[in-house]
Amino acid sequence: LVAGNADHGHGHAAMAMPADETVTLGDLDLSAYFVRATLPNQPVAGGFLTITNGGNSDDTLIAATSDAAARIEVHEMAMPVELMKMRALENGLPIPAGETVMLAPGGYHIMFMDLTGPMVEGDKPEVTLTFEKAGKVTLTMPVLARDGTAHDTHHKMSE
């Protein structure tokens, strides 16, 4: 038994965090990228990141691919009254010049469809993003727990 590993729920080493390095592709800086862990038999997973366009021209995230999923779509989550809708962005996700676009839970996201296997916390699937102007970049996106904390309940029971 390893003492003090994740017993108290606030050990930082044991918790997966979004990637802390920034990947630069042309005028774009990509940061804080991660994938949410999936439930058993869940066929889809959401990927998230922050994209900053430091250049003078607009760019567009037009495609994403990964060995972890049969296909990936760039989605927008819209919340019309009482109904959450997700739809693929047919023309891609615009990244305006000089602006930062966040793909975050509840908003834009990368949707992994027909997963080849579960997204397990601690896994690091590679995802290749294609931008209209900046080109392609491959990110290693850490898989984080669904709620941002460990799934086990032992620390709740011990309180």
Rounded distance between C-alpha atoms, residue 64 and residue 62, angstroms: 7
**E strand or H helix that includes residue 155:** helix 154-157
- Note the residue count of the chain: 159
Global pTM?
A: 0.76
Task: List per-residue pLDDT tens for the chain, 159 residues long.
Answer: 544 444 444 434 456 788 889 999 999 999 999 999 999 889 999 999 999 999 999 999 999 999 999 999 999 887 666 666 778 888 999 999 999 999 998 899 999 999 999 999 999 999 999 999 999 999 999 999 987 444 343 333 434
Tokens coding 127: 């995802």
| Three-state SS at 156 | helix
pLDDT value of residue 41: 87
CA dihedral 60, 61, 63, 69 (to 10 degrees): -170
pLDDT value of residue 157: 41
